[in-house]
Amino acid sequence: MTKPVERIMVYLDGSEGSILAMRLAVVLADFMGAELYALSIVNTRALSDLVQSHIFLEAEREEYRKELFDDGARYLNHAVEMGRKKNIFVKGVNVSGSIAMGIKEKVDELGIDLLVMGPPPRIRSRRDALFDELESAMRTVDCSVFIARNEERIEKLYREL
């Protein structure tokens, strides 16, 4: 019988929600015997939008691109370390582009079966909901999506692993 979940991916943006999702993913990867990927995306699409709208200067785009790349590398290192502590190998992937498209493309390219995400913020406007990249990814990815909730329980599961 084919394993129901062979490859899990977590999108990391440095938020508490994405760290929680990473902890849950480590637990799930161990339980399911699945490979685990951590994805970080340098949001160059947003940087381009800011330059086009004249909010950013070209120099700011480059400055922030480097910072976002460095931040992403730091998140991935943290994720790898979280896995290592529980004897789970985490493959870090750092790409550039739009968040929604980047997640969707990597799900397809890596053959991801399960995407684990942090909980979305509670207070939203209609405009926010429409443009939210994570919600867009959740709606369009070609795999199952798991939303990490209940921090206390997830922390307990991770600790006990």
Partner 1 sequence: MSLIELIDKRTVKVPLEARDKQGVLRELVNLLASATDKVSDPEALYRAVLDREALGSTGLSEGIAVPHGKTNAVRNVCLAIGVAPEGIAFDATDGKPSRLFFLIAASADKAGPHIAALADIARLAQSGALIKALVRARDASELIAILQGD
Examine residue 31 and tell whether it contacts partner 1 (CB under 8 A): no
> 136, 113, 141: which is closest to 9 by C-alpha?
113
Of 6, 15, 80, 146, the residue at the interface with partner 1 (CB under 8 A) is 15
Question: What are the backbone dihedrals phi and psi of residue 7, each rounded to the nearest 5 degrees, phi first?
Answer: -135, 125
Q: To the nearest whole angstrom, how small is the minimum distance from the Cβ of residue 155 to partner 1?
A: 23
For 105, counting Cβ atoms within 10 Å of its Cβ (0-12 exposed, 13-18 middle, 19+ buried), the class is: middle
Examine residue 68 and tell whether it contacts partner 1 (CB under 8 A): yes
Of 33, 87, 126, 160, the residue at the interface with partner 1 (CB under 8 A) is 126
Examine residue 16 and tell whether it contacts partner 1 (CB under 8 A): no
Considering only the stretches 52-60, 78-86, 110-118, 145-153, report the one whose residues sit in contact with partner 1 under the rule CB under 8 A: 52-60
Of 1, 2, 54, 160, the residue at the interface with partner 1 (CB under 8 A) is 54
Q: Is 80 left (phi over 0), alpha (psi -120 to 50) or beta?
A: alpha
Of 30, 32, 46, 95, the residue at the interface with partner 1 (CB under 8 A) is 46
5 vs 39 by CB, closer to partner 1: 39
Q: Is 88 left (phi over 0), alpha (psi -120 to 50) or beta?
A: beta
